[in-house]
């Protein structure tokens, strides 16, 4: 975890020193490059939007998708993150709301509140896809209905949940405030804020020093951190000082979630039928 965090921080620092990047788009591109280098080849990384079969869209940052099963619409090179893509919700594993600078207070475009709202919209849209129950064996095969499958405690009730996180390079309390380097100060400001969106982020990384993790409410002694997912009506949040491994926690939490997710079927019949004007059977 320390080595991953150090690699992240080193890359960000070196690129900043050379190019002096300050804007969100450049930070998104850098995160895409780092994630592409760190994630297994089966996962694609792009900037763009999640899209339903009917054309509804959400999300505007980084998407992790099933590269082994779905090509990018723009047919771009794997290392070209300049253009944004449209990824079907059925092919999406995770969404990352990336903020070069995240402000704890307020509701403007760079605020924690706005980032949570973006995540909530992305999760709500992906929530429309068909759920995959725990009897699924492969893309098109299932166990017999008479067999009973019990999923692990504190994990989603379906195999294809959508993972969403917020990652920021640096933090400040308010729009005109200075950057917060002290983790105690960041935690203090966070204590005055609450996340109330209908859909919640599964993880929030605030620089390399503070993370907000899902925990099991009312069960802190037995299983404070039980899975990478925020479970509705069960999970709460724990604000933790990460002692310089925040980016590492973010990457490993993402990998942990990806290891669990088993996507369903992309609606190929509907796509092909729509193109031909033929109703699928």
- For residue 264, which of 132, 163, 126 has the smallest C-alpha distance? 132
Position 221 scores a pLDDT of 55
Position 126 scores a pLDDT of 97
Cα(232)–Cα(269) distance, integer angstroms: 33
Task: Give pLDDT tens digits for 231-253.
Answer: 998 899 999 998 889 999 999 99
Dihedral (CA of 121, 206, 95, 143) sign: negative
Top pLDDT among 260 and 150 is at: 260
Position 47 scores a pLDDT of 92
Cα(243)–Cα(246) distance, integer angstroms: 7
Task: Give pLDDT tens digits for 108-131.
Answer: 989 999 999 999 999 999 999 999
Pairing of strands 92-103, 163-172: parallel
User: pLDDT at residue 94 above 90?
Assistant: yes
Name residue 136's beta-bridge partners.
142
Position 280 scores a pLDDT of 65
Cα 256 from chain centre:
12
User: pLDDT at residue 65 above 90?
Assistant: yes
Task: Give pLDDT tens digits for 138-180.
Answer: 666 777 777 777 778 889 989 999 999 999 988 999 888 889 9
Position 41 scores a pLDDT of 87
Q: How confident is the model at residue 9 (pLDDT cuts 50, 70, 90)?
A: confident
Do the beta carbons of residue 223 and residue 198 sit within 8 Å? Answer: no
Q: Tell me the domain boundaries of the chain.
A: 2-139+161-276
Top pLDDT among 3 and 114 is at: 114
- The residue whose two tokens read 């939490």 is 253
Top pLDDT among 257 and 34 is at: 257
Do the beta carbons of residue 170 and residue 207 sit within 8 Å? Answer: yes
169: helix, strand or coil: strand
């Amino acid at each position: 975890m320390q080595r991953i965090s150090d690699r992240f921080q080193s890359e960000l620092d070196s690129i900043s020193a050379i190019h002096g990047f300050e804007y969100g788009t450049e930070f998104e591109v850098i995160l895409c490059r780092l994630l592409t280098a760190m994630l297994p080849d089966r996962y694609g990384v792009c900037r763009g939007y999640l899209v339903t079969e009917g054309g509804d869209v959400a999300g505007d940052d980084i998407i992790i998708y099933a590269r082994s099963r779905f090509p990018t619409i723009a047919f771009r090179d794997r290392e070209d993150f300049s253009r944004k893509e449209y990824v079907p919700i059925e092919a999406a594993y995770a969404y990352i709301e990336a903020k070069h600078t995240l402000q704890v207070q307020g509701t403007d475009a760079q605020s924690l509140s706005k980032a949570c709202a973006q995540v909530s919209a992305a999760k709500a849209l992906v929530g429309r896809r068909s759920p995959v129950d725990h009897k699924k064996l492969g893309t098109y095969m299932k166990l017999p209905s008479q067999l009973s499958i019990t999923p692990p405690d504190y994990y989603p009730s379906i195999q294809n949940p959508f993972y969403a996180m917020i990652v920021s390079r640096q933090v400040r309390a308010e729009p005109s405030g200075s950057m917060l380097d002290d983790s105690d100060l960041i935690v203090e400001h966070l204590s005055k804020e609450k996340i109330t969106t209908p859909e919640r982020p599964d993880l929030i990384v605030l620089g390399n020093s503070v993370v907000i993790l899902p925990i099991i409410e009312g069960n802190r002694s037995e299983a404070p951190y039980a899975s990478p997912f925020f479970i509705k009506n069960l999970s709460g949040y724990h604000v933790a000082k990460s002692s310089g491994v925040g980016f590492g926690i973010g990457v490993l939490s993402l990998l942990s979630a990806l290891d669990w997710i088993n996507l369903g079927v992309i609606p190929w019949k509907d796509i092909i039928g729509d193109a031909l004007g033929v109703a699928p059977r």
